[in-house]
Amino acid sequence: MYLRTTQQRRKDGSVVRYVQLAHNRRVNGVTRAEVLLKLGREDQIDVDGLRRLAASITRFTDGDGGGQLLPGEPGEFEVLSSRPIGGVWLLDGLWKKLGIDQALLKVLGSRRFSTDVERVLFALVANRALAPASKLAAAEWASQDVAIPGLCGMDEDHAYRAMDLLVDADSEAKVQEAVFFACADLLNLEVDLLFFDTTSTYFERDVPDEAGSEDQPAFRVYGHSKDHRPDLPQIVIGLAVTREGIPVRVWCWPGNTADMSVISEVKDDLRGWRLGRVITVVDRGFSSDENLTYLTRAGGHWIAGERMRDGTKDVAQALSRPGRYQTVKDNLQVKDIRIGDGDSAKRFVLCHNPAEAKRQQQVRESTITRLQAELDRIDTQRQKADAVKSPAAKAKQTAAHTKAECALRDHPTLGRYLRQTASGRLKIDRSKITAEAKLDGKYLLSTSDPDLCAEDVALGYKNLLEAERGFRDLKGILELRPVFHRLEHRIRAHILICWLALLLVRVAERQTGQTWRRTCLELGRLHQVTLKGPAGTVTQTTLITDQQAAIYNATSIKPPPRITALTAA
């Protein structure tokens, strides 16, 4: 059904246009227009009446508004604003569903504030998840660019005040503990395996903080940068996650903190969290004997990666122990190894990945080919230097090939397969190649739990990738870095806000089954529009799509209402 126009020419030559309501009918295989209603001449038709008719038809077909007429005549509205609401509405639903708002109110206490601290903190977390920016830009974003339920507006001072209160309340990780257990109870999280790892993040400044006291050391200092920025001051961040990737707790240490020195603090901090029997999974950087012994306190257990190239006695025995591999998956085979008896017994699990072994063999062969070509080039250069008679030219060429040999020997990839003869010449060390070939596709794990099967140990260690994935999302999607804050408590607050954002993102990904980027893109198309007419204003959302409805259904969150506000003039 549609409107159409026809025209007739009068005797005086003028043309008159008529408006008709028509629809198409198929007669004998031919589509023909059938006039249902003649509305009259175009220059005399009641256009406003047609607009009212169209609006009433729309309300009837869409089923929205409950038959209530909108203020103002159709077609007389002025658009005041249009802000995205889909992503914020989802995050706010998860925020309340997980009990984060109540957890924050509980730890903040009964203190009264001039602003709603909980709403301001949510705005900062939502900004980090949807459109990461500085705190000044986040305040403007929350006030001008997006619709946040319960927040009329905020400024930079509100943001910093809320951050200070968050750090004060989390002085003993009370916020993180309350938030995590609210999530654990709702999501029925299993915390039998706890994965821990560290990373670093740098600051945009040329010099580190001044040296502090023994009790309060400098925070932003130089250290081993995992971001490959040793030229900038940094801090070290620790993250513990569950096997589902849900973040449990985050830590911050000065930038020169060594990985080996933090395990005892992590163990002590989580001791009072009533997590029950927990097996902590750590990487090779934390697997010192002292750390592993500390993890077994109070009945705890651990799974740790071992350094196979350190040449320790236990590792040598584990690698040389005969036995057959048990196939766990197409790309994973395991072998259970026990060394020693009684209290001094140690348990290892040797893992082998055939696909990775083939890849490493191909990479090594390519490296050896490249290395041999470089050695041949150096030999040719040496022969040319020996044939030169001029002492000055000979000395120059000798220095050139000596410099090339030194660079090759110190090369991080090629140098590992070289040995230096008594005459100072470089040769390919075939024994090193043979030793490396024996380790292709293998990695060694140790565990203190005598009851876990080798398969569970191997698969549990592979889930350590969840901690690394958490760091990637913190630095990528949530844009943790670069950090411009100067005060230590503001830096800690920034890390906490990113941790809360990561928590919401992980829950959303787990329940929807799709990436956060895809969810943001889809929900970003749902807007809240404010219209103004002669009788008042109306605030309503755009029509929700099937994809958007599916996201809300998967998270058990009710979509935003079609009409959120009606204000009479």
DSSP letters of 162-212?
Answer: HHHHHHHHTTTSHHHHHHHHHHHHHHT---SEEEEEEEEEEBS-SSPPPP-
Mean pLDDT (the chain) is: 84
Residue 514 pLDDT exceeds 90: yes
- Round to whole Å and give the CA distance between 471 and 513: 20
What is the structure's pLDDT at 92? 95
Please calculate the CA angle 453-350-462 and round it to the nearest 5 degrees: 70
Angle, vertex CA 417, rays to CA 413 and CA 420, nearest 5: 120
Strand partners, 527: 84
Token couple for 179: 């938030």
The predicted-structure confidence for 194-209, as pLDDT tens digits, reads as follows 889 999 999 988 788 8
Higher pLDDT, 99 or 1: 99
Neighbouring C-beta atoms of residue 305, cutoff 10 Å: 19
Q: Does position 59 have pLDDT exceeding 80, yes or no?
A: no
Give pLDDT tens digits for 290-307: 888 888 876 788 898 888
Task: Please check the confidence at residue 71 and state whether its pLDDT lies above 50.
Answer: no
Say if CB 43 and CB 15 are below 8 A apart.
Answer: no
CA-based nearest residue to 91, from 477, 517, 507:
507
DSSP label at residue 558: P
Look at residue 74 and tell me whether its pLDDT is greater than 70.
no
Contacts of residue 531, defined as CB under 8 A and 6 or more positions apart, other chains included, come to: 70, 72, 77, 78, 79, 80, 537, 538, 539, 540
Does residue 542 sit in helix, strand or coil? coil
pLDDT at 260: 84
- Is 99 strand, coil or helix? coil
Closest CA to 303 of 319, 284, 279, 285: 279
Quote the CA–CA distance of 432 and 302 in Å, as a whole number.
Answer: 32
What lies within 8 Å, CB to CB, of 527 at 6+ separation is: 82, 83, 84, 85, 86, 541, 542
pLDDT for 532 beyond 80: yes
pLDDT at res. 88? 95
| CATH T-level topology, domain 189-323+452-503 | Nucleotidyltransferase; domain 5 (3.30.420)
- The pTM of the full predicted model, rounded to 2 decimals, is 0.76
Residue 67 has a pLDDT of 45
Contact residues for 48 (Cβ-Cβ < 8 A; gap 6+)? 73, 74, 75
Of the candidate ranges 214-218, 412-416, 441-445, 511-515, the one whose mean pLDDT is the lowest: 214-218
Cα pseudo-dihedral 226, 520, 140, 169, rounded to 10: -60
Nearest to 170 by CA among 559, 497, 396, 544: 497
- Rounded distance, CA 16 to CA 13, Å? 10
- Report the pLDDT value the prediction gives residue 63, as an integer from 0 to 100: 58
Q: CA–CA separation, 276 vs 271, rounded Å?
A: 9
C-alpha pair distances (Å), 221 with each of 106, 200, 471: 35, 11, 20
Q: Is the per-residue pLDDT at 494 higher than 80?
A: yes
HSE-up of 219 (CA within 13 Å, CB side)? 14
pLDDT for the residue numbered 413: 82
Q: Is the peptide bond before 482 cis (omega within 30 degrees of 0)?
A: yes
At 43, is the secondary structure helix, strand, or coil? Answer: helix
Query: Which one of 207-211, 293-297, 463-467, 553-557 scores highest in mean pLDDT?
Result: 553-557
- Please name which of 76, 79, 78 lies closest in space to residue 48, comparing C-alpha atoms: 76
Residue 16, pLDDT > 70, answer: yes
Q: How far apart are CA 341 and CA 346, in angstroms?
A: 8
Give percent above pLDDT 90 in the chain: 27
In three-state secondary structure terms, 378 is: helix
Whole-angstrom Cα distance, residue 102 to residue 564?
Answer: 24
Q: In this model, does residue 78 exceed pLDDT 60?
A: yes
**What mean pLDDT do residues 243-257 have?**
90
pLDDT band at 65 (very low <50, low <70, confident <90, very high): very low
Q: Where do the domains of the chain lie?
A: 1-45, 189-323+452-503, 356-437
Mean pLDDT is lowest, of 109-123, 381-395, 424-438, for 381-395
